[in-house]
Chains A and B, each alone.
Chain A
Amino acid sequence: MFIRFTLRGLQYRKQRLLLAFAALAVAATLATVLFGIYSTVDRRIRDEFRAYGANLIAAPANGTNVPLAIVSEAVKLGGEAVPFLVTSANAGNEAVAVVAFEPSPAATRMTSYWHVTGSRELSGGDCLAGELIAGRLGIQIGQTIPWASCRVKGIVATGGAEDQELLVPGAFTNVASLIQIRAPGDRLESIRASLAQQFPGTDFRTVRSIAETESGVVSKVRAAIFLLTIVILAITTLCVSSNFSEMVIERSKEIGILKALGAAERMIATFFISESAALALAATVAGYITGIFAAAAIGRQIFGGVFSVQPNAFVFLSVAAVMLAVATLATGLAASRIWGIQPAIILRGE
């Protein structure tokens, strides 16, 4: 009989139910999308900070070298590491720093901020000249530098130390002059401590400007999004709850008739609440599905990468729990009127 009531009810009140369904589905979609954004905002922003390059430098504490084993150790801990070897060459009456590195994809990522005119594809015998050195010594692209025996394939401009250096490809045996390390921002301190413990002869320096800025921006943006998400969800649940309580209030006549026919208030209330719960569940499912597709589209649009729909049981259950709670609570509160309704008075039209 319950089911018959519900289905008939659906038939007659399509417009009203549609409105309530839409309101809750939208709320569920929003909650899913916002949930998705909030949980990944950390990682997304930290990914952008990789453009800054190294946030940890391994430099010699005493002496002039650091062990190359640091590279593999850093990679094992989850970071990226690029070793550099610094020597000096005599360019006429001037000493020029010559920096050797392995032109690997990791090195390219670590130095993505290098502005190279020409090409940075280096093989043996090639080199990159820093902008200032090139200007001072009149070095051109394609030229062979006698005092360094290499052909200039590109000119590097960074606004930093590289502009004064000659960058050459090189292979490493077991030492380096220094190693640039990029550790995931949230584990920087622990990785640093672990490396420092394993390699006591090396100074592991946190690049404060990058590390502090990264944690500062991430925490602030996350806090702002959190606050704003709470505000958005509060307003949507308000809309949802007003819809659901309206649905009860406007059926005062029906309640009057049911009571006149002898129905217990409890049963009527249970009936309304289960109707709302069913509607809420259906709308949540619809909203959640829309939500994960929307989140995937957004993820692709703003952050690039693939369109990946990621269903997540935890998110679904949380969203469903909240929506159900809101719907049933609103209905329940409105249903408290049922006890006060006097059939004769309501049916007379007052």
Chain B
Amino acid sequence: MIVRFVKDSLRRAPRRKALIVAAIAMGSAVATSMLGVMLSIGDKVNRELRSAGANIVVTGRAASVTGGIGNVTAKAGTGYIAESDIPKIKNIFWGLNIVGIAPSLAAQDKTLRVSGVDFKALRTVNPAWSVVGRWAEDMSNDCMVGEGISQREHWKLKQDITVLGAPCKISGVVSSGDEADDQILLPLKRVQELAGHTGVVDRIDVAALTKPEDDFARKDPRLMTAAEFERWNCTNYVVSIAHEIEEALPGTQARPVRRVADSEGKVLDKVGGLMGLITLAALFSAGLTVWSLTATTMIERRGEIAIMQAIGGSRSLIALLLGLEIAMVGFLGGIVGAFTGVGLAHFVGQSVFSDAIEISPVLPFVIIAAAVLVALAGAAQPLRRALLLEPASILREGV
């Protein structure tokens, strides 16, 4: 009989039911798309923040990193890193979070600062650099010069210059706003040959996707218990990733580039807070929509409930029947909404970040369950009220 009741009632007033299902579907779609976007926006913004450059710099231990403000440099030290060791960086626990590895070797040509680089890697780590002309090829006689140095030496694009005794053609002028503007960039291999340091580099710039630092991250790893250290090591803080790189490449020093690493933590925290807030607002409004809808529907059906009571239906049976009906409507609306919501989330991800959003397959099911629960919750109070009233007084109002 229960089945017959529910089937019958679903068939009656189909337009009304369809509207209710549609409204529940919309609420579920909002909830799904919000949660979908919120849960992945952190990752998306993190990737966006990588255009700020490397957040970890690796140098040989006790080496000096050439470079400095203005035209004064410290002497190049003797700490070198074997080029063959570089791929080991990709093999650390957080290897998949490393989005760029740019090795370089510094050299001096009298007063000119030269840097041997892997152009493709350098471009990956510094996508924001602006280049007039084009990026140099790694296996070629090309070189790139910084805007500052080319102005001072009066060099032009496509000009042939001599660096470290060998000719090269300027393929592009870099304007970055940092050290590269005062350097000549040559392919790494050439500098290694010309400076007589084959097979080594003295600096690796690493761009990694990290988690903002909190108090736990700042603890000294040497003072941690084994369990704490495990947790610290397995979280992608910039300091733990740097630590892992040092372990993978013995004899090196891996340090966070504070200007980039600290700041991105702050930005990520704020964006996360903002998104969480908006999601809460959305979930609340979606929940309210569904709640008020089922509450209204239940108020309207007081007459029906009164009649069922009058002909002898027990309160629990009526509650069960109506509850089932609402659950089914909620379930249907939830399914339609959840999958529409997944589509909406992908749409937002694609249009804003030009990248697919990864949605956990659990999410739609959680939303469907929530839709059913909220629908039932909304109907609960009016239903209870209606059941407690005398059928006669309700029926006298007019069905």
Contact = CB atoms under 8 A, between A and B. Distances in A.
A51 interface: yes
Contacts of A135: 62
A296 to B, nearest CB: 13
Interface string A77-97: 000000010111000001111
A200 to B, nearest CB: 12
Contacts of B278: 34, 37, 225, 228-229, 232
Contact of A26 (B75, B175, B285, B293): B285
A1 interface: no
Q: B interface, how many residues as a size bin?
A: 35 or more
Interface string A212-231: 11001100110111011101
A274 interface: no
Given A19-B292, A239-B288, A213 B49 contact: yes
A128 to B, nearest CB: 14
A220 B48 contact: yes
A160 B263 CA distance: 14
A159 B128 contact: no
A163 interface: yes
Contacts of B281: 30, 33-34, 232
Given A209-B129, A236-B285, A239-B289, A227 B352 contact: yes
Contacts of B176: 205, 207-209
A52 B260 contact: yes
Q: A interface, how many residues as a size bin?
A: 35 or more
A344 interface: no
B91 interface: no
A131 B62 CA distance: 11
B351 to A, nearest CB: 7
B153 to A, nearest CB: 11
Given A209-B177, A235-B26, A224 B48 contact: no
A136 B77 CA distance: 10
Contact of B177 (A30, A206, A223): A206
A97 B177 contact: no
Contact of A45 (B27, B71, B270): B270
Nearest to A222: B352
B69 A211 contact: no
Given A227-B351, A231-B33, A159 B69 contact: no
A59 B395 CA distance: 87
A15 to B, nearest CB: 7
A209 B53 contact: yes
B281 to A, nearest CB: 6
A69 interface: no
Given A163-B65, A211-B128, A48 B282 contact: no
Contacts of A276: none
B69 A45 contact: no
Contacts of A55: 177
B271 A221 contact: yes
Nearest to B269: A48
Interface string B270-293: 110111011001101110110011
A95 B148 CA distance: 23
Majority secondary structure, B binding face: helix
Interface string B4-45: 000000000000000100010011001001100100010011
B126 interface: yes
Interface string B162-177: 0000000000000111
A318 interface: no
Given A95-B75, A203-B151, A205-B175, A23 B288 contact: yes
A171 interface: no
Given A163-B65, A224-B37, A212 B285 contact: no
Given A59-B148, A209-B53, A97 B73 contact: yes
Given A37-B274, A49-B267, A232-B285, A239 B177 contact: no
A212 B128 CA distance: 6
Interface stretch (B109-117, B295-303, B310-318, B327-335): B295-303
Given A23-B288, A30-B281, A213-B48, A159 B258 contact: yes
A158 B34 CA distance: 38
Interface centre among B19, B148, B179 (most CB of A within 10 A): B148
Nearest to A304: B270
Nearest to A203: B148
Contacts of A235: 26-27, 30, 282, 285-286, 289
A242 interface: yes
Nearest to B147: A205
A325 interface: no
A26 B271 contact: no
Interface centre among B23, B45, B296 (most CB of A within 10 A): B296
Nearest to A114: B258
Given A164-B64, A239-B23, A213 B51 contact: yes
A253 B70 contact: no
Given A16-B299, A213-B48, A160 B270 contact: no
A302 B53 contact: no
B344 A209 contact: no
A157 B258 contact: yes
A19 B296 contact: yes
A330 interface: no
Nearest to A219: B352
A97 B48 contact: no
Contacts of A27: 285
Nearest to B178: A207
A96 B74 contact: yes
B3 interface: no
Interface string A32-63: 01100100010011001101110111010110
Enumerate the 8 nearest inter-chain pairs by beta-carbon distance, A residue then B residue, closest first. A207-B177, A212-B128, A159-B257, A51-B263, A86-B70, A239-B289, A302-B273, A213-B52
8 contacts: A64-B71, A86-B71, A94-B75, A113-B258, A206-B177, A217-B49, A232-B30, A349-B399
Interface of A: 15-16, 19, 22-23, 26-27, 30, 33-34, 37, 41, 44-45, 48-49, 51-53, 55-57, 59, 61-62, 64, 84, 86-88, 94-97, 99, 113-115, 131-133, 135-136, 157-161, 163-165, 177-178, 203, 205-213, 216-217, 220-221, 223-225, 227-229, 231-232, 235-236, 238-239, 242-243, 246, 250, 253, 298, 302-303, 349
